[in-house]
Amino acid sequence: MAEEGRDLDAELGDLGRWAAEQRVADAVGERRRTAWLGRQPDGAATLADLLVTVAERHRAVVVELTGGRRHRGVPTVVGRDVVELQTATAGVVLVAFGAVRSVRVAGDAGDIPTRTTAAVTELAHELGRWAEDRPEVRLATTGTAEPLRGTLLAAGPHLVTLRLTGGDLAYVPLAALAEVSLPESG
């Protein structure tokens, strides 16, 4: 019985030492994390910050989407969740931030501000504005290769309505949008 007590005391001692080592390791980790955070800028740059800076400098970008599509153009409007690009090949294109895989800027974009100056607009608002004119558009969703083509009839905070070229109506959840192109006329 006395031997069992010594074994228990030894195990408790080992457990106490292990707990003390864990507390030290946790404290060291917390100090490292705090030091790392202290070296970071007040607000980290966002995609909107980058695109606003590029737009202000009238620089072209190549935006690659999750589906593999790419658009080369100059940002003209930057919002909370959308960038409007003026492109030479597809005309005006709205790209949802949720579908952006990468943004490539030729050379250096310069210093990127840590606070956004993006316009207070969103994808739903921009599409609603476009829908007033009932334009012909090409609408691509995330993960699909073939875009839908037709007349943009309506856009709300959750759903976009498109009259397809064949006459059918298509209803697309806003969250599924990757891009909407407004081809140049003529």
76-120 pLDDT, tens digit each: 999 889 999 999 988 899 999 999 999 998 766 566 655 555 566
How open is the CA angle 153-126-73, to the nearest 5 degrees? 110
What's the maximum distance between 2 C-alpha atoms anywhere in the chain? 98
List, for residues 41-54, the tens digit of each pLDDT value.
555 678 888 888 88
135 or 121: which carries more pLDDT confidence? Answer: 135
List, for residues 152-167, the tens digit of each pLDDT value.
999 988 999 999 988 8
Tokens 């080992």 sit at which residue? 14
Is CATH 2.60.40.150 the classification given to domain 47-182?
no
The predicted model scores a pTM of 0.65
Q: Which of 32, 65, 61, 38 is nearest to 140 (CA)?
A: 65
Please report the pLDDT score of residue 36 as a whole number: 53
What is the percent of the chain where pLDDT is above 70? 80
Confidence of residue 56 (pLDDT cuts 50, 70, 90): confident
Q: Which of 164, 158, 89, 167 is nearest to 127 (CA)?
A: 158
Phi and psi at residue 137, to the nearest 5°: -135, 165
Q: Is the per-residue pLDDT at 170 higher than 80?
A: yes
C-alpha to C-alpha distance for 81 and 185, rounded to whole angstroms = 26
Domain ranges of the chain: 1-40, 47-182
Mean pLDDT of the chain: 82
Q: Is the per-residue pLDDT at 185 higher than 60?
A: no
What is the percent of the chain where pLDDT is above 90? 36
Alpha helix (H) ranges present in the chain?
2-39, 47-56, 123-131
Token representation of residue 77: 């409007």
Q: Is the per-residue pLDDT at 186 higher than 80?
A: no
